Chain A
Amino acid sequence: MIVVRVVQTGDVDALVALAQETGPGLTTFKPDRDALAARIARARRTLEDEAAPHEQGYFFVMEDAATGDVAGVCGIETAVGLDQPFYNYRVSTVVHASQDLGIWTQMRALNISHDLTGYAEVCSLFLSPRYRTSGVGGLLSRSRFMFIAQFRERFPQRICAELRGHFDANGTSPFWRSVGSHFYQIDFNAADYLSSHGRKSFLAELMPRFPVYVDLLPEEAQKCVGLTHSDTLPARKMLEAEGLRYENHVDIFDAGPVLECHIADLRTVRESVVVPLEIGAADARADAPRSLVSNTSLHDFRVGMAAGVVTNGVFRLTAQEAAALNVKAGDPIRVLPSKHKQG
């Protein structure tokens, strides 16, 4: 069984190895042992309630329970922007009209905003190419919502997710070329690296202080505003199925969309239920419905995918699955029936 669980201190070696599978571009998960150890320590402090509000964040690993092979990571920040400011563009609407001339025009403007300050953020998702098979990506991403549903009181009112923006065939961002490069004067990767490593003071110094009219930008840059990277479209679909929506916030570098919603509106929060566990034989039918299942332990939180749905107020797992989730018969488990075919 593939499970997603909260990170443990001993995971650092496996994470360094996994990070070597990332290509350039993913700036938040690099094979940097010290950085990964710090990230794990931060996640553990958060679980122990020893982290200040601005540093709270959770980190999860995905592993094959049978082999112990670590195949993916994902994270949740509890409240962004409380330490370094969290910058986005808010895409606002500007209307110019003159009755005298019979003119009415509408355009979009980009306004530097801190609107998402204090939001929780789902982030840092990476899945090894070796595991990009049916259902596994969805499990990894949605495991975070199971955690939030289980520990609702540990999170604020709203949540967001930043998606990668559009890059052209040369792997460069037309939006960066037309906007960011003029202001920041360093290349995209350098800017992205500094920003994601908490060195954001250059942003305040260099970013456009006035709103930017989208309609005055070159066409290729206009098209990028709110456009998702083609590789990230499946992630967007999954987040939208969960209830997150594009609400006119975009990234300041590549103009990729930010999806957001009230945590209370997350599908997992609304629809998952906690029931007692029953041990038994699995539903072996090929078309059997499947569910996301987690234990309810904060310090050893685990999520997996299992056949079946809640029946007669209980959920049935095989002994092997129960062991993978570290639960025994009669323990409470959280269950979310899978509505959508995975993959």
Chain B
Amino acid sequence: MLFVRPSRLADLDALQQMARTAQPVLHSLPHDRHALEARVALSEDSFRAEVDFPGEEFYLFVLEDSETGKLLGTASIVAAAGYSEPFYAFRNDALIHASRELHVNRKIHALTMSHELTGKSRLAGFYIDPSLRGDAAAHLLSRARMMYIAANRKRFTSEVFSLLLGVTDDAGVSPFWEAVGRKFFGRNFADIEVQSGGRSSTFIAEVMPSYPIYVPLLPEAAQRVLGEPDEKALLAYDIHLEEGFETDRYVDIFDAGPVLTAQMDRSACVRRNETRTVREAASAAQGATCLIASNRPGEFRCVLADLPALGEAHDADALLSAAARHALGVQDGDPVRCVLLHRQDPNESKGETQ
């Protein structure tokens, strides 16, 4: 059974392997072993620390197969993005240009370099083994982070965001970079992406545009990819939308990929989770798939399992198989947080995300 847990120093080899495999590079997982070790150590400290408000903490999770002990993915949360340096994104503003005399009224979008996301909690560093089939594992790994947030609200800010990969062609060329970034940097996207190590480097202030960029004046190819996820990020995009993230407020400064934002209180895992009491079941129950998380001190776990009729008040139990109980590290009578993996009322879900 697949489950998500905080990473440990013992995971270092597997993490290093994943960091090297991941394309594009994960800025949260350095290739250098010492640097990576420091990140894992920081994560261990972060999970252990008593935290009253978000700061430099970094939470690194891994996806493990309980049968083989093999690690099949990783994901992280940065408690406060750009904690010591500004975090840059393009804010996508709508400017109204209207003239009563000429009977014209038009909304013109302009991209402005913004620090507004600085200090907000960020979902980052998502990597999943390509050999895993189906979407369930990706849902589990991505949204386990939101389950952790739900159980540890004061460790994070009230708004959380996530930066997804923007559109690049087969040769790795980003149309938005060609139309914007290249003009300022005079270099290839890949060079800068590797060197930049994120969206907080000081050179961004030196090199990126200080004035807003009018979107309609950009070449078509660049406009088309604005806020669009790359094919490789489509699943991640859908997972975020399901969780209640909103699009269109920000885009990435380099490839114009979507920067998704969510009010913590309105996200699915925070708003809809229910606490239930674990009961032993001989085999997996029939019902709807749920994210189920345990949050014993120092050891967070999250799995996917079917539970019958979540949301009905008369049934406060979670019937869990031995495998699930083992993966969660819980016994009969322990509390777990549960939330439906997929919302069942599509109309309601629409209302929520708008």
**A25 close to chain B: CB less than 8 A:** no
Name the contact of A97 in the complex, choosing from B187, B207, B213 (C-beta under 8 A).
B207
In the complex, A100 Cα to B205 Cα: how many Å? 12
CB distance from A188 to the nearest CB of B (A): 14
The yes or no answer to A105 lying at the interface (CB within 8 A) is yes
Asked if B12 CB lies within 8 Å of chain A CBs, one says: no
- Given the complex, which residues of A lie within 8 Å of B192, measured CB to CB? 101
One digit per residue, 1 when the CB lies within 8 angstroms of any chain A CB and 0 when it does not, for chain B 48-82 equals: 00000000000000000000000000000000000
A208-B214, A209-B95, A212-B217 as given contacts; A199 in contact with B101, CB under 8 Å: yes
Stretch in contact with the other chain, from A161-169, A175-183, A314-322: A175-183
Given contacts A107-B184, A206-B99, 5 further A-B contacts (CB under 8 A): A96-B209, A182-B217, A199-B101, A205-B99, A213-B209
A107 to B184 Cα, complex, angstroms:
8
Assembly CA distance A178 to B218 (angstroms): 9
Q: 1/0 contact trace for B316-354 toward A, CB 8 Å?
A: 000000000000000000000000000000000000000
Is B298 close to A, CB under 8 A?
Answer: no
Partner pick for B186 among A103, A178, A211, A217, CB 8 A cutoff: A103
Q: Hey, which chain B residues are within 8 Å of A103, CB to CB?
A: 185-187, 203, 206-207
Q: Which residue of A lies closest to B195 (CB)?
A: A101
* A105 contacts B186, C-beta separation under 8 Å: yes
Binds A, one of B36-44, B104-112, B119-127, B136-144: B104-112
Contacts of A202 in B (CB 8 A): 99, 101-102
Q: Which residues of A contact B207 (CB under 8 A)?
A: 96-98, 101, 103, 105
Map CB proximity to B onto A197-210 as digits: 1 under 8 Å, 0 otherwise: 00101100110111
Q: Could you tell me if A100 and B217 are in contact, using CB atoms closer than 8 angstroms?
A: no
**Contact yes or no, B183 A210, CB < 8 A:** no
Residues of B within 8 A of A186 (CB): 102, 104
- Whether A218 and B219, one on each chain, are in contact in the complex, defined by CB atoms closer than 8 angstroms, is yes
A65 interface residue per 8 A CB criterion: no
Q: Which residue of A lies closest to B206 (CB)?
A: A98
Which of chain A's residues have a CB closer than 8 A to the CB of B186? 103, 105
A210 contacts B101, CB within 8 Å? no
Q: Within the complex, what minimum Cβ distance (angstroms) separates A147 from chain B?
A: 36
5 contacts between A and B (CB under 8 A): A98-B203, A103-B203, A184-B104, A206-B99, A216-B179
Is B214 a contact partner of A212 (Cβ separation < 8 A)?
yes
A215 in contact (CB, < 8 A): yes
- A109 CB–B CB distance under 8 Å: yes
The answer to whether residues A216 and B211 also contact, given A105-B185, A186-B102, A210-B110 and a CB cut-off of 8 A, is no
Q: Which residues between 284 and 326 of chain A lie within 8 Å of chain B, taking CB atoms?
A: none
Closest Cβ of chain B to A23, distance in Å, is 25
Interface residue? A185 (CB, 8 A):
yes
Contact B108 A105 (CB under 8 A): no
State A186–B104 Cα separation when bound (angstroms): 8
Interface centre among A109, A182, A206, A216 (most CB of B within 10 A): A216
Indicate whether B84 reaches chain A with its CB closer than 8 angstroms.
no
Report the bound CA distance from A199 to B101 in whole Å: 10
Set of chain A residues within 8 Å of B233, measured between Cβ atoms = none
Measuring CB to CB, which residues of chain B are less than 8 angstroms from any residue of chain A? Answer: 95, 97-99, 101-102, 104, 106, 108, 110, 179-180, 183-187, 192, 195, 201-203, 206-214, 216-219
Contact pick for A216, options B104, B210, B213, CB 8 Å: B213
- Residues of B contacting A185 in the complex (Cβ-Cβ under 8 angstroms): 102, 104, 106
Q: Which of chain A's residues have a CB closer than 8 A to the CB of B203? A: 98, 100-101, 103
**CB pair A216 B195 closer than 8 Å:** no
Tally of A interface residues using CB under 8 Å: 32
A97-B207, A178-B217 given; A216·B183 CB < 8 A: yes
For the complex of A and B, list the 9 residue pairs with the smallest distance between their C-beta atoms, beginning with the closest: A98-B203, A182-B216, A205-B99, A185-B104, A98-B206, A202-B99, A96-B207, A215-B183, A211-B211
Residues A217 and B217 in contact, CB atoms below 8 Å apart: yes
Bound complex: CA A186 to CA B98 (Å): 12
Q: Determine how close the nearest CB of chain B comes to the CB of A289; give it in whole angstroms.
A: 52
When distances are taken between beta carbons in the complex, the residues of chain A under 8 Å from B110 are 210
Asked if A216 and B101 make an inter-chain contact with CB atoms under 8 angstroms apart, the answer reads: no
Chain B residues, CB < 8 A from A215: 183
Which residues on A sit within 8 Å (CB–CB) of B201?
A: 100
CB-nearest residue of chain A to B185: A103
| Shortest distance from the beta carbon of B65 to any chain A beta carbon, whole Å | 42
Please measure, in the bound complex, the distance between the C-alpha atom of A205 and the C-alpha atom of B105, giving whole angstroms: 10
Whether B97 pairs with A206 at a CB distance below 8 angstroms is yes
Distance of A122 Cα from B214 Cα, bound (Å): 34
How many angstroms from the CA of A210 to the CA of B227 in the assembled complex?
22
In angstroms, how far is the closest chain A Cβ from the Cβ of B110?
7
Q: Which of B98, B208, B217 contacts A205 (CB 8 A)?
A: B98
* Distance between Cα atoms of A117 and B97 in the complex (Å): 25
Selected from A101, A109, A183, A199, the residue in CB contact (under 8 A) with B211 is A109
- B108 contacts which chain A residues (CB < 8 A)? 182-183
CA distance A42 to B282 in the complex (A): 100
Q: A100 to chain B: which residues have CB within 8 Å?
A: 201-203
Look across to chain A and name the residue whose beta carbon is closest to the beta carbon of B112. A210
**Smallest CB gap from A191: residue in B:** B102
Whether B180 pairs with A216 at a CB distance below 8 angstroms is yes
CA distance A109 to B219 in the complex (A): 17
Rounded to whole angstroms, the CA-CA distance of A183 and B97 in the bound complex is 7
Closest to B180 in A: A216
Closest Cβ–Cβ distance, residue B206 to chain A (whole Å): 4
Q: How many angstroms from the CA of A202 to the CA of B103 in the assembled complex?
A: 10
- Minimum CB distance partner of A217 in chain B: B217
Report how far A178 CA is from B215 CA in the complex, Å: 11
Q: With a CB–CB cut-off of 8 A, which chain B residues contact A109?
A: 211
Q: Which chain A residues border B208 with CB–CB below 8 Å? A: 96
**B185 → chain A closest CB, angstroms:** 6
A215 to B179, CA, bound (A): 9
Q: How far is the CA of A184 from the CA of B104 in the complex (A)?
A: 8
Chain A: minimal CB distance from B187 (Å)? 7
